[in-house]
């Protein structure tokens, strides 16, 4: 049933996944992964408060489940509770310092708080981990853009664009990020063309 729930999640059938994961929780109420996965389904379905409740239950059952902290941080960020998000990203990285997505998300959260130097520190560290370069260059470029350092922003936007253009088959998420970078770059260059 767990595999069926995963397939439903991948297909975007969040309600179906929630139903299956609820059955799994009823049969095994102490499995933190089931709560974490149902929280993810709730999050994807837009039920952020229910997601946070499930992530919190997963953490209570398994305080070392780094992905539950990361997921809950994402949910807090979605609600605009950026300081709670930072606390959970910190906990994620304490448990798993190589979790690249937490470094990226923590960098984005610092950027949203206009703490640009810490945003850049986090994104630079994520870049050194050697994966998801297109995402990281895009987000670092956006940080430079918002700081007003347009030369660095353009350079990072171009690095991201080059990375995405050299990727043989972009996933849906990569395609969306690629489109965002193109928009951000156009947004930056448009006043110069006028």
Q: What is the pLDDT of residues 46-92, one digit of tens each?
A: 999 999 999 999 999 999 999 999 999 999 999 999 999 999 999 99
The Cα 55–Cα 75 span in angstroms is 9
Would 35 be classed as within a structural domain? yes
Q: CATH number of the domain at 12, please.
A: 1.25.40.10
- pLDDT confidence of residue 10: 87
Reported pTM: 0.90
Would 23 be classed as within a structural domain? yes
What is the DSSP secondary structure assignment for residue 143, as one 8-state letter? Answer: H
The list of the chain residues with pLDDT below 70 reads 1, 193-194
Would 46 be classed as within a structural domain? yes
Q: Total domain count for the chain? A: 1
Could you list the residue range(s) of the whole structural domain that residue 18 is in?
1-62
- pLDDT confidence of residue 194: 62
Instruction: Report in angstroms the alpha-carbon separations of 39 from 22, 43, 70, 161.
Output: 10, 6, 12, 33
Would 55 be classed as within a structural domain? yes
**Contact (CB, 8 A) for 102 and 93:** yes
- Give the position of tokens 């300081």: 83
Would 2 be classed as within a structural domain? yes
Would 175 be classed as within a structural domain? no
Would 52 be classed as within a structural domain? yes
- Give the position of tokens 């870049």: 127
Would 171 be classed as within a structural domain? no
């Amino acid at each position: 049933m767990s595999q069926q729930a995963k397939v439903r999640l991948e297909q975007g059938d969040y309600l179906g996944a929630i139903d299956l994961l609820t059955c799994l929780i009823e049969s095994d109420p102490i499995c933190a992964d089931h709560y974490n996965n149902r929280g993810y389904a709730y999050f994807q379905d837009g039920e952020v408060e229910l997601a946070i409740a499930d992530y919190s239950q997963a953490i209570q059952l398994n305080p070392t489940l780094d992905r539950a902290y990361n997921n809950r941080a994402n949910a807090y960020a979605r609600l605009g509770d950026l300081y709670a998000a930072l606390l959970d990203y910190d906990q994620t990285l304490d448990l798993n310092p190589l979790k690249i997505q937490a470094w990226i998300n923590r960098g984005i959260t610092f950027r949203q708080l206009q703490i640009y130097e810490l945003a850049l520190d986090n994104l630079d560290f994520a870049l050194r981990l050697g994966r998801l370069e297109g995402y990281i260059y895009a987000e670092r470029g956006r940080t430079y853009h918002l700081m007003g350092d347009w030369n660095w922003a353009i350079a990072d936007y171009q690095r991201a664009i080059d990375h995405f253009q050299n990727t043989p088959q972009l996933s849906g998420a990569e395609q969306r990020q690629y489109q965002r970078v193109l928009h951000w770059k156009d947004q930056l260059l448009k006043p110069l063309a006028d």
